Amino acid sequence: MKKLFIKTYGCQMNVYDSARMADVLAPAGFEMTAAPEAADLVILNTCHIREKAAEKVYSELGRLRAIKAAAAGRGRTMLIGVGGCVAQAEGEEMQHRAPFVDIVFGPQNYQDLAQMVEDAARGTAVLKTEFPARPKFDSLPERRRQGQTAAFISVQEGCDKFCTFCVVPYTRGAEYSRPAADIIAEARAVVAGGVSEITLLGQNVNAYHGAAPSRTAPGSALGQREWGLGRLIRDLAGIDGLARIRYTTSHPSDMDDDLIAAHGEVEALMPHLHLPVQSGSDRVLAAMNRRYTVDQYTSVAERLRAARPDIALSSDFIVGFPGESDSDFEATLDLARRLGYAQAYSFKYSARPGTPAAERPDQVPEDVKSARLTRLQTELKSQARTFNEACVGRVMDVLFDRPGRYRGQMAGRSPYLQAVHVTPGDGEAQALRGRILPVRITEGHANSLAGTLAERAPLGAGP
């Protein structure tokens, strides 16, 4: 067997893509290794969303170049591939700057990876960054079963929203939704393999509008041509053994009535939603081309809470968008305080070459961005801690999926996506893996909870 090492940067979409790259390369004789030194093929799956993404990739490539040279000295060939959004954005430039890279390929091209590796092995430098007409999902091999307890399933890719700060529409291309039947088949396969939680993934996941399965095709009783995300979730919830469904990342203006209602009606749909707001100022939201106002966002949050009163919201914020004034920023702080988030990420605006906001003359000075970020993060951290502390004393179902940091410890996720640790001791900890069990929460920290296994019978079904 040849050895494959993949380093993944960025979002869950990339984590998913990396797993699928491994699936694509398995029939070509590649198995994963944890050590780049041992690899015949090293792939960097890159992210371009913020900060000096390209620079980070080039410095990692510098390290790989030395490993490649050392391998060559021992008479072994190591191929280097760079995929993902930095590869898409850099393209030919990367071949010039790092000629020892054998394969440069964009996020829409990994279904052809085996062929690219073959070409590279024959000494041809490979560059593939086009957006093919054929959706990449269609030609992927059967997903391998890996004894996981939770799985990502990509349902939608790309984005047509063109927020003025964001590279995604340029690196990931136009929006595409997978046919519902394919997603249902993939979900059934992973659940049959032992998975009890799936997370539906997409850059703009709630814009999902995939072809309906043929049983609801025109002429049948239901007659819907396309399904929205709410409809898809209702169908997936019928899969035996699937206890939990999540989806990410959503755009506030695509939260339609059916999806909101699903939060109140579908038991398997977990009471947590990542709903990035980005800013609390209407002026900045308009300049960002976010397509909603603060009032509209607030109303979505209120309707979600009406449908599912215990729903936990998380968010993304950008501070220091070009032209953001002190009062715009105060409005953001104010919105965060009013909404109350269970968890949130916040970032300093980072100018992405090629995006409209990067061209604006009114960029906010770095020190102002830093000061705003510190204030916002202080608020958001305290909200997360408050939320976690309020869980102490409650009994929550936890899906255990990984060993904890200490001996005898197991970790999992609460319905609200919090990390939860229990420490039942060496023997018992392992037996928890893959099960959903009630846990009495005893401690709430900034980023996690601790608890003990509770007595009452489990609510959710384990595999």
Would you tell me which residues interact with ligand 5AD (CB under 6 A)?
Answer: 49-50, 165-166, 276, 278, 316, 318, 347, 349-350, 352
Q: Is 159 in the site for ligand SF4 (CB under 6 A)?
A: yes
Q: Please name the residue that has the structure tokens 């979409």.
A: 13
203 binds, options ligand SF4, ligand 5AD, none, Cβ within 5 to 8 A by partner type? ligand SF4
- CA atoms of 210 and 175, how far apart (whole Å): 11
Q: Letter for the amino acid at 63?
A: R
Stretches 165-173, 186-194, 266-274, 441-449: which one binds ligand SF4 (CB under 6 A)?
Answer: 165-173
Q: Letter for the amino acid at 142?
A: E
Q: Letter for the amino acid at 214?
A: S
The binder of ligand SF4 chosen from 143, 161, 303, 385 (CB under 6 A): 161
Q: Are strands 150-154 and 197-201 parallel, antiparallel or unpaired?
A: parallel
> Judged by CB under 6 A, how many residues of this single chain contact ligand SF4?
10
The binder of ligand SF4 chosen from 234, 251, 263, 274 (CB under 6 A): 251
Q: Is 187 in the site for ligand SF4 (CB under 6 A)?
A: no
Q: How far is the CB of 313 from ligand 5AD (least distance, A)?
A: 14
Which residue, 322 or 460, has its beta carbon nearer to ligand 5AD? 322
At 192, list the tokens: 């049959």
Q: Is 166 in the site for ligand SF4 (CB under 6 A)?
A: yes
283 binds, options ligand SF4, ligand 5AD, none, Cβ within 5 to 8 A by partner type? none
The binder of ligand SF4 chosen from 115, 124, 162, 351 (CB under 6 A): 162
At 246, list the tokens: 């999540």
Secondary structure (DSSP) of 120-160:
HHTT--EEE----SS-GGGGPPPPPP---SEEEEE-EE--S
- The count of other CB atoms within 10 Å of the CB of residue 409 is 18
Continuous segment of H or E residues that includes residue 282: helix 282-287
- The count of other CB atoms within 10 Å of the CB of residue 286 is 14
Which residue, 9 or 349, has its beta carbon nearer to ligand 5AD? 349
Contact status, residue 242 vs residue 196, Cβ threshold 8 Å: yes
Q: Is 168 in the site for ligand SF4 (CB under 6 A)?
A: yes
Closest CA to 400 of 440, 431, 435: 435
108 binds, options ligand 5AD, ligand SF4, none, Cβ within 5 to 8 A by partner type? none
Q: How far is the CB of 12 from ligand 5AD (least distance, A)?
A: 10
Which chain residues interact with ligand SF4 by CB under 6 A? Answer: 159, 161-163, 166, 168-169, 203-204, 251
